[in-house]
Structure 1
Amino acid sequence: MSKIFTFGFWNSVARLILRNRIIIILLILATTAFFASQWKYMRFSFTEANLLPDDHEVNQEYNAFLDKFGEEGNLIVMGIKDSSLFTEKNYQAWKALNDSLQKFPEVDYAISIGNLNKLKKFEDPKRFEMVPFITEVNPDSLQLASYEDELFTKLPFYENLVYSAHSNTIQSALYLNKEIVNSKARKDFVIDNLDPMIKNFESQTGIDVRVSGMPYIRTLNSQNIIDEIGLFIGAALAVTSLIFFFFFRSIRATVISMVTVCIGVMWAFGTIGLMHYEITVLTALIPPLIIVIGIPNCIFLINKYQQEIQKHGNQAKSLQRVIAKVGNATLMTNITTASGFATFILTESKLLKEFGIVASINIVAIFILSLLIIPVIYSYMKIPKSKHLKHLNRQWIGSFVGWMEKMVRNHRIAVYFTAVGLLAVSIIGIYNIRISGSLLEDMPQQADFFKDVKFFEEEFDGIMPLEIVVDTKRPRGVLKSSTLKRLEQLEGLIAEEPELSQPLSITRLVKYSKQAYYNGNPKYYQLPSSQEQNFILPYTKNMEGNDDLVNTYVDSTGQFARITTFMKDIGTDKMEKIEDNLWPKIHKIFPEDRYEVSMTGKALVFQKGTTYLVHNLVLSLSLAIVLIALLMAWMFRSFRMILISLVPNLLPLLITAGMMGFLGVPIKPSTILVFSIAFGISVDDTIHFLAKYRQELKANDWKIKRSVYAALRETGVSMFYTSIVLFFGFSVFMISSFGGTVALGGLVSATLLFAMLSNLLLLPSLLLSLERSIANKETLKEPAMRIIATPEDEEEISKDDEEYKNQKNES
């Protein structure tokens, strides 16, 4: 009988591995050295993850905006809410800090109280000029108090730009060079220069400085990702090694397993470097994932080796059978796990696609490493002692398996009622799930920079830029009186939204020009009438010092105007309501036949990306289910068995979704991963159980009950071991400071725990209840491949035992 994967094939693999141990060790070392050489190409992401395809309409609008106005997220703000700033000593220290920062090449220009300019009218010739707001080099306390009063009462132009409209908070604005905003130079400036200088100012004056802005947030967030990679890897190694040792009580077995997964981690980093991918909040999870997923491979292989040693004490035969009997089953379980990750490759999101590629490749790689390293290392070691095999006969494991058998044998109705009850409650919870596209929600909420975000939201109504671009469809159309009035009208509508800040646009400078024309009287801070424009125009022709502001909010042709407002940390649902509220009013102000208006900005792109991913979640999960169902169909050749096997794996996903609804955990980029990952891993237990069940059916003359109980006793222990390792392994992610990573770890852990119970209780119960419809050779035809060896395969394996033993002695 010709089969693609037969035990003859795996027996040949076993001979190949055990006869070429030195070559295999050298190949692993060489491959590891190669991947280590690729680490130098790893780079950390210095910008937010783009969740949308490059050709998506929202991305195209954002890129068009960048082409006209350049990088929008280049503003760092430093805020002080302390009236003592306007004392001589503190003012001079603050001015010195800002002057020093402005000298850095990374800073294009800075706006602060020390270098503030105001617009002044001159008559001969007629002109406006920007003159220093504070004229004295060393102003005294009385002068500073006067300047403070003038700033807050007579310069509305600087409202929400230099001072808060809500309190006496002062801020400085650093505009970074747009060329370095998304590069390592930004990180070096923030970490090595900005932060130390601010700390030095705080120690000199005792004034608390709040710092924020997208470049600053992104820098510290990236640094947190870097710091947590080492933390995750260390924690995953510590937790899995402790659990492994607790199960096996063998330092040797524990060290071998840790060496295996550590090499897998090195390969994972090497893969990221080889493909020149960035390390993002998602790809940073891959190395610890390899540890968590690789340890179960080691458990299956080492557990089988020790079982064989306990059975007959022949090392040669044991190693041969470990590869030949467990290799195929382990391959299948790793393929299903990799399939769960691989479904992300089919999405149009670059972030998820890269995550799926690296994760699926390295899951297969850790299987290959386990299959090669463990038998080869054990072949050079002495046979395990009896104390290392005691765990195979532990009473508490026997009690657990006995409890499961009792539940399946005597309490199947209770199992079904519990499953149906959990399903009903979960459906209620699912209706409470919300979608969140907040750019800051997953960031470490205990970090100082996150607290500073909340400070600026309270004082300046937001920190994340939202951009509105108005196309007047004609050159210099922005500066027409009618357009300026429409812009001001739109700004008024934006200011009415409590989640948005006072907008910034060219209208500020135009209104400030009228105020300056009337000798700085703040009541004239308004758009000039047509008649007033004729009076003011001669003064503006030679106006200098405002090029930066004009070029920031009007493109070089004068056709496009930019309105910038800042958003609070709001989710997708609130943003959609704001859009629904604004768009009809925008179209009324700017008729679509005469103007074209677009809304963009990094935060908005991220929120749209979240919605896009949620819509793709169903597709991704459906693909995972279909792919794994096809794999099960190929293995078992039974449609009924596919349905039976999917039920205990879909139920945990629904329970997890229900938990998310009740616990208020939203659907977002990080939690979207949960379902495909958990499904790909949980179906492994189903494969192991059904493979053993089918073998028992043939051995027991198609007697269902005897076969189910035998399969439960045989696979229950290893399924319990691996599920516990996976549970605690994924729980490691809950130590993260990132909310999304915490949710991912907790939800996957919970799902896998439910999946274990579902596969050990619900699956065998279904097999027993439906025995009449599945207990026949037509339903369970000969599989496309054997996952567990049959007695005939045992004979084939035994033929090679003596040959391998002789070859080992010769070497």
Structure 2
Amino acid sequence: MSHFLSQWTVKHPWLLIAISLIIVLVATIGAKNLWVTIDYKSYFGKDNERVLIQNELEAEFMRDTNVIFLVSPRQGTIFDRGVVEAIYELTEESWKMPLAMRVDSITNYWHSWAEGDTVIIKPLLDKPRNLSDEQLAKAAKILRQEKTAVDILFDQNAEMAVVRVNVELSENAIDEEPVVAAYAYDLLQKYKQRYPEIRFFVSGTVIGDQSFAEAVFRDAQFLTPLSYGLMVILLVFLLRSFSAMLLTLSVVTLSVVFAMGVHGWIDGMLNPIIAASPYLILTIAVANSVHIFTSYFQGINSGLEQRHAMQESLRINLQPVFLTCLTTAIGFLCLNFSESPAFRSLGNVVAIGVTAAFFLAIFMLPSMIILLPGRVKKAPIRFSGAMTWLANSIIKRHRVLLLSSGAVAILLIAGFPKNELNDVFAHYFDETFQFRQANDFANARIPGFHRIDFKISSGEQDGISNPAYLNKLEEFAKWFENQPDVGKVTVFTDIIKRLNMNVHQDKPAYYQIPDNREEVAQYILMYEMPLPFGRDLGNIISMDKSATKLTAFIRQTSSERILELTHAAERWLEENTPSPMQAKGSSIDVMFSYMARNNIHSMLYGMFVALLLISIILIFAFKDFKLGLMSLVPNILPVVATFGVWGYINGQIGLSAAAVACLALGIVVDDTVHFLSKYLRARREKNMVAADAIRYAFNTVGAALLITSIIFVIGFGTLAFSPYLSNSQLGSLTAITITLAWLADFLLLPSLLMLISKK
């Protein structure tokens, strides 16, 4: 089969080039359907349990789509007159933000107190310029004692204030959010210039969503030229041929274009994860061309005519290149076991690109080489001389290498338990993003940026007025407040207790839940009646007053801890409340924490499936059961050892880290396949003993494997410079895996071959 295809390819270059370009052109038309999503929910399936819970919360209460401004004086406190006036102006201007529905800050915080038999409900810091210094100081003193304001609208040291703007987006959120974000950024710059003595930051879900889009464009602007630039330098240096570099990049670029075009026809959605697929295809697809060129140059250097050299190159590379592309595609297709649609799409797009790269490398690349006589000149193969020395050294010391490889593997794998699940949403972006800067600044001062929300139902209309319901709700809030890492709990009962105290002339003894249901209902009506538009209780009580929202604000912690708190709270509700009050926790932090944990489990299953399929393929391809199984050793060890290395140097495992095992397994098998194919060719066709077959494998394919490994490591290493954490982790972990796999294939695999040949 390989002999026939190699001959046919060499005889029909123009036809193959024409067919290849037509197919790529048709696929490319689909690129017009590509679009960038800014919705964090694109990482979750529509039937994801926590997404459904979040959707229910957003439908029942005011959706917490917001822009958050942080105001922090460089000296003094937020209650200094100049700072209060700046906060007041920012609050008023925030109402002009497109689609603004509610604005909360210390200057429009509604405080209630008793004056005789009358309950007064109004802001303490409204129009601060009209307040005397004494009134300002009194208001600051009261606010510092307000449980529903401290750690929500400002920190305990009064060094930072929050202006929270809730916006109501329609179904056209993808068009509306950029407009809202642009207004917020303009307002931020305006106040930075107006008040240089005050620090201003901007965050919120709208800014977080925009950061996703920004990550896509920043990767495209920085990583694309960096990847291509490095490929040009590496290919020219390693292949020693400018023409070979141009032809290789042509094939690789067409593979990327084909894959992205097909994705446009199928789906078209791009987020930071899917947008990384061109860089992965670019790196992986280079390997096929390197192997074709390396064997071609070896044939030319041995005196073969150009067409015969290409025919021989195709004959000896067709099976290993096919197998490597197949195993790589399987590794990426196993990302379909992921909980996240984003990783499923990434796997499919890269698998399509790898498949295209195979056909283009086997049919189009040789055709272009043949039609450029004299341009692709013979070049000495870099590293060829070192391969003979390396092969002899390994053959001579294979026992020592086996023992030392085992010891190093054990040492590296020992770092595996040091890893912990940590997938904090804000940390998806590096410190160059305004969203990350704002969240880090806020989290150092208040526990209000990581949260767990619960919809606590009473089971009946107007049931939130029932004292029995309120007492259980209060009990749950107190339990939550006493949990480690919980900084603040906002609960409806705080408002009811305050109003009960106000009605009884602010006597502290009445800061409790009333025993009378009608009395509670009157308090709710009394509180909401004077409130202006956008200041009602719709953010914490449902429209039919059957449920309330309780929010626990969590201090900066790990994803694992957020899951522990969520599970503990859900268990407490199950054990201590009637069935209508039992609920599941939700929030962006909870959703991503669950996704990261579930993704690890699903990717382990995906890795098992990939391992099983690759094992079967290699056993059938090599026609040797023992050799097929043994070939998995130098491929599984690097994947496991990589997470050991990661445990030593970082230890934080996120959403993308779980996917590395599947995709890396498909990639690292490539070197093993190429090495073993040459080894078996020497054993079966040339009747060489094991030692000579190992020398033959090193001399024929060793240089190409070193070249492709260098390209893989540097190619994936460029992703480590991505400002988006998932892509950065993906690149770093894969680069480490490929480095360890190359060492395993060059040191451990030949030693194992020597061992089993003697047995």
TM-score, normalized by the shorter chain, greater than 0.5: yes
User: Which residue matches 1:316?
Assistant: 307
What root-mean-square deviation, in Å, do the aligned CA atoms of Structure 1 and Structure 2 show?
3.1
Distance 1:756 1:737, change over 3 A: same
The one of 32, 35, 52 equivalent to 1:39 is 32
The one of 679, 692, 699 equivalent to 2:665 is 679
User: Which residue matches 1:11?
Assistant: 7
User: Which residue matches 1:795?
Assistant: none
- The C-alpha deviation readout for 1:67-125, integer Å capped at 9, x for no partner, is 323534545343334547556665444433332221233211212344444446799xx
What is the correspondence of 1:343-492 to structure 2 with a 5 Å cutoff?
Answer: 343-384=334-375, 388-392=377-381, 394=382, 396-399=383-386, 401-445=387-431, 447-492=433-478
Tell me whether 1:517 sits opposite 2:503 in the alignment: yes
User: Which residue matches 2:59?
Assistant: 67
Q: Which amino acid aligns with 1:200?
A: K
- The C-alpha deviation readout for 1:716-758, integer Å capped at 9, x for no partner, is 1111111111111111112123344333222211221221222
Gaps of 5+ in 1: 774-811
> What is the CA distance between 1:623 and its match in structure 2?
1.0
What is the correspondence of 1:675-714 to structure 2 with a 5 Å cutoff?
Answer: 675-701=661-687, 703-714=689-700
Cα contact 2:465–2:520 (8 A) shared by 1: no
The one of 583, 603, 619 equivalent to 2:605 is 619
Distance 1:539 1:274, change over 3 A: closer
Distance 1:246 1:562, change over 3 A: same
> What is the CA distance between 1:367 and its match in structure 2?
2.3
> What is the CA distance between 1:182 and its match in structure 2?
5.3
User: Which residue matches 1:296?
Assistant: 287
What is the correspondence of 1:78-89 to structure 2 with a 5 Å cutoff?
Answer: 78-81=70-73, 83=76
Tell me whether 1:564 sits opposite 2:589 in the alignment: no
Q: Tell me, in whole angstroms, the C-alpha distance in 1 between the residues paired with 2:469 and 2:423.
A: 33
Q: Which amino acid aligns with 1:163?
A: F
Q: Secondary structure at the match of 1:241?
A: helix
Q: Which amino acid aligns with 1:574?
A: R
The one of 600, 614, 620 equivalent to 2:586 is 600
The one of 12, 15, 23 equivalent to 2:18 is 23
> What is the CA distance between 1:295 and its match in structure 2?
1.4
Q: Tell me, in whole angstroms, the C-alpha distance in 2 between the residues paired with 1:602 and 1:145.
A: 37
Q: Secondary structure at the match of 1:467?
A: strand
The one of 176, 183, 200 equivalent to 2:174 is 183
Q: Secondary structure at the match of 2:154?
A: coil
Q: Which amino acid aligns with 1:558?
A: K
- The C-alpha deviation readout for 1:452-500, integer Å capped at 9, x for no partner, is 2132223221303311122222222222122222222222222233423
User: Which residue matches 2:263?
Assistant: 272
> What is the CA distance between 1:28 and its match in structure 2?
5.4
Q: Tell me, in whole angstroms, the C-alpha distance in 2 between the residues paired with 1:766 and 1:132.
A: 78
Q: Tell me, in whole angstroms, the C-alpha distance in 2 between the residues paired with 1:706 and 1:464.
A: 62
257-266 vs 648-657, which moves further: 257-266
Cα contact 2:33–2:268 (8 A) shared by 1: no
User: Which residue matches 2:99?
Assistant: 106
Distance 1:106 1:464, change over 3 A: farther
Distance 1:185 1:59, change over 3 A: closer
Q: Tell me, in whole angstroms, the C-alpha distance in 1 between the residues paired with 2:639 and 2:125.
A: 64
Cα contact 2:128–2:136 (8 A) shared by 1: no
User: Which residue matches 1:508?
Assistant: 494
Q: Secondary structure at the match of 2:459?
A: coil
Q: Which amino acid aligns with 1:201?
A: Y
- The C-alpha deviation readout for 1:313-344, integer Å capped at 9, x for no partner, is 63333444444443443222111111110111
Q: Tell me, in whole angstroms, the C-alpha distance in 1 between the residues paired with 2:120 and 2:10.
A: 85
Q: Which amino acid aligns with 2:40?
A: T
Cα contact 2:68–2:162 (8 A) shared by 1: no
> What is the CA distance between 1:253 and its match in structure 2?
1.9
Q: Which amino acid aligns with 2:496?
A: V
Distance 1:153 1:430, change over 3 A: closer
Q: Which amino acid aligns with 1:108?
A: M
- The C-alpha deviation readout for 1:260-295, integer Å capped at 9, x for no partner, is 322333333323332234322321211111111121
- The C-alpha deviation readout for 1:415-463, integer Å capped at 9, x for no partner, is 1111210232234222333222432343214544323213222322130
Cα contact 1:470–1:598 (8 A) shared by 2: no
- The C-alpha deviation readout for 1:373-431, integer Å capped at 9, x for no partner, is 4233333323247xx53432x5x5312x1332123221011111112102322342223
Cα contact 1:118–1:133 (8 A) shared by 2: yes
The one of 553, 577, 580 equivalent to 2:540 is 553
Distance 1:119 1:351, change over 3 A: same
Distance 1:109 1:582, change over 3 A: closer
Q: Which amino acid aligns with 2:425?
A: L
Q: Which amino acid aligns with 2:95?
A: Q
Q: Tell me, in whole angstroms, the C-alpha distance in 1 between the residues paired with 2:21 and 2:419.
A: 52
> What is the CA distance between 1:528 and its match in structure 2?
4.2
Q: Tell me, in whole angstroms, the C-alpha distance in 1 between the residues paired with 2:482 and 2:523.
A: 35
What is the correspondence of 1:647-662 to structure 2 with a 5 Å cutoff?
Answer: 647-662=633-648
Cα contact 1:117–1:132 (8 A) shared by 2: yes
- Specify the structure having the higher radius of gyration (Cα): 1
Q: Which amino acid aligns with 1:621?
A: M
What is the correspondence of 1:118-133 to structure 2 with a 5 Å cutoff?
Answer: 118-119=111-112, 130-133=121-124
Q: Tell me, in whole angstroms, the C-alpha distance in 2 between the residues paired with 1:222 and 1:34.
A: 23
Q: Tell me, in whole angstroms, the C-alpha distance in 1 between the residues paired with 2:558 and 2:254.
A: 40
Q: Which amino acid aligns with 1:746?
A: S
Count of matched residue pairs:
755
> What is the CA distance between 1:535 and its match in structure 2?
9.8
Q: Secondary structure at the match of 2:489?
A: coil
User: Which residue matches 2:529?
Assistant: 544
